[in-house]
């Protein structure tokens, strides 16, 4: 039996009857850009995230760029973030002309280590971008305390964390901005690229809406230079429909995480330390990824692929060691926990439609690899 890392086809079957008439309705209307479908989606996603406003944009990457643009962050400014994330987080900082300043992660959650963030702040630091990696929020109490002390703008990269909670507050509702991606492999994905920025501040929401449309306000009057960051009606309508199912799908992922814990505990893999499972730290983890640490990780990955099991490394090269960031002057050894995570971690299939037989197969194949 093959077990893919992610298979969206069963999910589509669940929503097909809702989605297809909606897509045809939008085609018949020939109204594709922004408009009521986007507004409806913005209201629903913002409410789900516990934020007052949502501004639909072209992607999660553009959501990050827009938050930085609206704050006027650019050349001469430093922005602190983690080197253990998808490229877009730091790419956005560089693309507005600011400098990414990396800080190492906490080895348990894989998220920014708040004490190290506090130590890295300088007078040039303007903003902080914590990433809620794999679906679990960073320690927002500690990070917000650092940000408040130094008056930093906080932009949550919540692309992997829609609906995740930290002390009862949802991803995207705590910082100045929350950035979400509707890339198909995220927990709330559309049928192409899409994203959203959330905020509690009406003034910021207004600015975001203006920057999203070339800084135009009113028509053909441009006081600022924005861009085309508009979400389209087809994608917004898909997101609105899928959002109604999201809690059920998240529950399925959480149940699968518990099932993995049981299945692994039935082997000797955990006791002998060959594998260690992700830790949930007192918050709502939405398991965009189920990421463990494993001995001889690269060999295990090859073995899983040979045996038809989908698995992936998120992410094999920390950002401070990427060629494109060489000019920042970082070296191997600068962020030991990020470098170790990049060598040891592996994501297993966790999507809600996995069957228990598929999960047994995953764990059995790992046990076979280690010969236990
Ligand atoms: C997916 C992702 C992004 C980028 O989102 P896109 O919609 O693909 O542009 C940014 N940050 C993180 C952490 C992500 O996982």
pLDDT-based confidence at residue 281 (cuts at 50, 70, 90): confident
Spacing, Cα 25 to ligand 1 middle (Å): 29
84 occurs within a structural domain? yes
Q: Which of 196, 215, 243 is the endpoint of a domain?
A: 243
254 lines ligand 1 (CB under 6 A): no
Domain C-terminal end among 202, 227, 243 = 243
Question: Quick one: average pLDDT of 57-81?
Answer: 98
Read off the pLDDT band of 158 (50, 70, 90): very high
Q: SS3 of 78, please?
A: strand
Q: Using a pLDDT cut of 90, give the percent of the chain over it.
A: 98
CA 88–ligand 1 middle distance (angstroms): 6
Measured between alpha carbons, how far is residue 335 from residues 91, 331, 341 in Å?
A: 18, 9, 10
The CATH number of whichever domain residue 345 belongs to comes to 3.90.1150.10
For the cut 80, the answer to whether the pLDDT of residue 311 exceeds it is yes
- Cβ neighbours, 10 Å, residue 153: 22
**Residue 118 burial (C-beta neighbours within 10 Å; 0-12, 13-18, 19+):** middle
Ligand 1 atom closest to 193 (CA): 7
Q: Can you read off the two tokens belonging to residue 341? A: 């995570």
Is pLDDT above 80 for 317? yes
Of 221, 243, 265, the position where a domain reaches its end is 243
Mean pLDDT of the chain: 97
State residue 70's pLDDT score: 98
**Cβ atoms < 10 Å from Cβ of 284:** 19
What's the confidence (pLDDT) of residue 272? 87
Does 189 score more than 80 pLDDT? yes
Q: Is the CB of 85 under 6 A from ligand 1?
A: yes
At residue 270 the predicted structure's pLDDT band, cuts being 50, 70 and 90, is very high
**Average pLDDT, integer, range 329-334:** 98
Q: Which residues contact 137 (CB under 8 A, 6 or more apart)?
A: 111, 161, 164, 165, 166, 171, 283
Q: Which atom of ligand 1 is nearest to the CA of 133?
A: 13
Question: Quick one: pLDDT at residue 360?
Answer: 98
pLDDT at 283: 84
Mean per-residue pLDDT, 153-165 = 98
Which ligand 1 atom is at minimum distance from the Cα of 59?
7
User: Measured from the CB, is residue 161 less than 6 Å from ligand 1?
Assistant: no
In the predicted structure, residue 172 carries a pLDDT above the cut 80: yes
Residue 58 CA to ligand 1 center (angstroms) comes to 11
Q: Whose CA is nearest to atom 6 of ligand 1?
A: 60
Burial of 326 (C-beta count, 10 Å sphere; 0-12/13-18/19+): exposed
Q: Is the CB of 183 inside a 6 Å radius of any atom of ligand 1? A: yes
Calculate mean pLDDT across residues 40-66.
98
Same domain, 93 and 169: yes
Total count of domains within the chain:
2
Joined together, the tokens standing for residue 229 give 């960051």
List the domain range (segments joined by +) for residue 309.
Answer: 246-370
85-142 pLDDT per residue, tens: 999 999 999 999 999 999 999 999 999 999 999 999 999 999 999 999 999 999 999 9
| CB distance 63 to 96 below 8 Å | no
Does the structure show a pLDDT above 80 at 181?
A: yes
Q: In this model, does residue 282 exceed pLDDT 90?
A: no
Nearest atom (ligand 1) to Cα of 185:
1
pLDDT band at 153 (very low <50, low <70, confident <90, very high): very high
| Residues 68 and 146 grouped into a single domain | yes
Residue 232 shares a structural domain with residue 261: no
Where residue 205 sits, what CATH number does that domain have? 3.40.640.10
Domain shared by 233 and 255, yes or no: no
CB 312 within 8 A of CB 295: no
Q: Do residue 21 and residue 167 come from a single domain?
A: yes
- Element housing 181 (H / E): strand 177-181
């Amino acid at each position: 039996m093959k077990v893919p890392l992610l298979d969206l086809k069963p999910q589509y079957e669940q929503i097909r009857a809702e989605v297809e008439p909606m897509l045809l309705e939008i085609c018949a209307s020939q109204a594709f850009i922004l408009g009521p479908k986007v507004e409806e989606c913005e209201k629903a996603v913002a409410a789900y995230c516990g934020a007052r406003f949502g501004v639909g944009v072209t992607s999660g990457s553009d959501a990050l760029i827009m938050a930085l643009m609206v704050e006027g962050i650019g050349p001469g400014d430093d922005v602190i973030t983690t080197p253990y994330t998808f490229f877009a987080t730091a790419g956005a900082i560089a693309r507005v002309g600011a400098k990414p300043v990396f800080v190492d992660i906490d080895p348990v959650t894989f998220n920014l280590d708040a004490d190290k963030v506090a130590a890295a702040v300088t007078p040039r630091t303007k903003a902080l971008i914590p990433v809620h990696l794999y679906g679990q929020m960073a320690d927002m109490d500690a990070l917000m305390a650092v940000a408040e002390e130094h008056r930093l703008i906080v932009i949550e990269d919540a692309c992997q964390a829609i609906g995740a909670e930290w002390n009862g507050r949802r991803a995207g509702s705590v910082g100045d901005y929350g950035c979400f991606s509707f890339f198909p492999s995220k927990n709330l994905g559309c049928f192409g690229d899409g994203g959203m920025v959330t905020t509690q501040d009406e003034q910021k929401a207004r600015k975001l809406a203006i920057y999203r449309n070339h800084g135009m306000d009113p028509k053909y009057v441009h006081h600022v230079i924005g861009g085309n960051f508009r979400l389209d009606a087809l994608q917004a309508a898909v997101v609105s429909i899928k959002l109604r199912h999201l809690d059920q799908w998240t529950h399925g992922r959480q149940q699968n995480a518990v099932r993995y814990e049981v299945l692994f505990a039935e082997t000797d893999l955990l006791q002998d330390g060959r594998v260690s499972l992700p830790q949930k730290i007192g918050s709502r983890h939405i398991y965009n990824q189920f990421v463990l640490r494993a001995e001889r990780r690269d060999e295990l990955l090859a073995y899983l692929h040979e045996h038809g099991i989908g698995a992936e490394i998120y992410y094999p090269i920390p950002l401070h060691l990427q060629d494109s960031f060489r000019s920042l002057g970082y070296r191997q050894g600068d962020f030991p926990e990020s470098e170790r995570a990049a060598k040891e971690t592996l994501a297993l299939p966790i999507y809600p439609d996995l069957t228990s037989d598929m999960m047994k197969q995953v764990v059995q194949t790992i046990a076979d690899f280690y010969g236990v």
